[in-house]
Structure 1
Amino acid sequence: MALLPEDECHKINRLYRQQARDKALMVRAYLRILLSQYARLWQVDIAPHQWQFEYGDKGKPDLCERDFRLTGIHFNISHSGQWLVISFYRGHPIKQHIELGVDIERSRASTNIYAILSHYFTDIETRDLLALPEDQQRERFFDLWALKESYIKAKGLGLAMSLKGFSFTMQHRKSANMALFDAQQSREINIDNGISLQLHDSEDDAEQWSVMFGRLDYEYRFAISISLPESPTWLAQVVTAQSVFALA
């Protein structure tokens, strides 16, 4: 709680369930600690409790103008199960406006994916999914869901934005490796950069967007959408609660 400003502590304490309070506290503390860690790379010293955020109409958080001008950091977060994914991108603090979204999804056997397809997936996405062998269709469903959520989160519009207004295709994929590091070991995770985005009902230019997709393990996959025509070089780092709070 000491890592958070007073108003955020009040928000957490208003949550009814202890489990929800614990998760909200961890998410907010992780974000603030890591923001401070990355800011120090550029000789900016902001303590975790000093970060201030602004929120879009649908609740998307961004740094307040003062903190963004000091650091140029864009961020987005997503959590599922015991995983929290935070994506950071540092651009020009004055000239460069970037839209950034990240999503992590867990494959769930209980989800009736076929009842959802017609409501939220485009004809292109549905056709490609159903063309796969049946044992691969559920995995493709959650892969696409992570991609679509990452784009919606980047736009900051939530479900006010139609999921049928854009499509992702995953054929002819080209894979590259990105290293994940933690305190004890390094390991590689497959990152797929061969995914294309098509926009059907938008003034956006799909060529001005880059998308990245990867898997943490058999159950979990994540996606990042960013409004840059060329995909950045991403560095991924795995941090445990013990290691991240040691940075505070």
Structure 2
Amino acid sequence: MTPPVDKVTNDIAVYCCPLVDDGLSATDRAKLSLWLPEDELAKVRRYARQEAQEKGLLVRGYLRALLTRYAMTLGVEITPSQWRFDYGDKGKPRLQADLFQRTQIAFNISHSGDYLLLAITHGDADIELGADIERRRSTTNIYSILNHYFTDQERDGLLALPTAEQRERFFNLWALKESYIKAKGLGLALSLKSFGFSFDDVSRQCLLIDGLGKIEASRGISLMQYRDSAERSDDWSVTLAHLDEYYRFAVCINRPTQCLRGTMISLSELFKSV
């Protein structure tokens, strides 16, 4: 294996991976298939269309190869085929206990349209990490959803914006809320109106993505808990970033501060490093 260039830190490594290309070669499919256990291969084969099967292979292959790449920075050598996962009651994936003991790795994965997003960090068993990538869609009726899944404060803040900016705020909030739900691992058992996000103290920064360049990121977004009254959760940190005019991603973690290190990586580049 060729050692990756990632550095060992307690930051969050965020990998952006393209899911759309000219199609997987037979060699690529064979290599990815060798990494997957039979139960995961069976899930991939259940997709009716070849395009969906290839995307299923890519998502699972990227996850395994990037975990291997990250583990190497910790001085731990685990091949892509050796990763095994357990799942929470609502389906949140995590490493099986023996692999977690060796690596202390926490991760979360999301994909939408043309991209997969994987966030990885390490530390202790209490880490709650969530990541979500969303594509802005012009066909979504955002106003029919506002009252069902957004807090009053989020709704009012959105509607106070110029009409041209409201759709952008909607998908920003949706990515943020999904990332927090995924961090908690509770699914929709956690009411989307029991928490929200405030942009009152937000600051614009640039986030460097290796292989892509600088992208716009927002820090200082506050996670608000709504119980008897609104309470800001200072023990969580949140980052929202835009890959381009259509795609944005959010990362939430139960640490008071976080620093993201971003990498855009293709399948061919990944094969070289594992």
Q: TM-score, normalised by structure 1?
A: 0.92
What residue in structure 1 maps to residue 106 of structure 2? Answer: 74
Letter aligned with residue 265 of structure 2: V
State the distance in 1 between where 2:197 and 2:86 align.
30
2:141 alignment partner in structure 1: 112
User: Deviation per CA, 1:75-129, whole angstroms, max 9, x where unpaired?
Assistant: 001111110000001114xxx4100100011111111111000110110000100
Structure 2 residue 45 is matched with structure 1 residue 13 = yes
Please list the CA deviations of residues 130-174 of structure 1 after superposition, one character each: whole Å capped at 9, or x if unmatched: 100010001000000000000001111112221101010113421
How big is each residue's C-alpha offset from its partner over 1:18-50, in whole Å with a ceiling of 9 and x where there is no partner? 222211110000000010011011111111010
Partner of 2:264: 238
Residue 245 of structure 1, CA deviation: 2.3
What is the percent sequence identity of the aligned residues? Answer: 49
Stretches of structure 2 lacking an aligned partner (at least 5 in a row): 1-32
Stretch moving more, 4-13 or 82-91: 4-13
Partner of 1:103: 132
Q: 1-side partners of 2:119 and 2:192: how far apart?
A: 22
TM-fit CA distance, 1:201: 4.0
Larger RCO, structure (CA 8 Å, separation 6 or more): 2
Partner SS, residue 235 of structure 1? strand
Q: Which runs of 5+ in 1 are unaligned?
A: none
Pairing of 1:178-217 with structure 2 (within 5 A): 178-182=207-211, 187-201=213-227, 206-217=233-244
The aligned counterpart of 1:143 is: 172
Residue 236 of structure 1 aligns to which amino acid in structure 2? G
Matched, 1:35 2:67: yes
Amino acid at match of 1:69: Q
C-alpha displacement of 1:177: 1.9
1:2-21 per-position Cα deviation (integer Å, ceiling 9, x unaligned): 11122211221223332222
- Structure 1 CA distance for aligned equivalents of residues 256 and 136 of structure 2: 30
1:83 counterpart = 2:115: yes
Conservation of the 8 A alpha-carbon contact between 1:5 and 1:50: no
The amino acid that maps onto 1:187 is: G
Quick one: distance in 1 between partners of 2:54 and 2:246? Answer: 23
SS state at 1:66 partner: helix
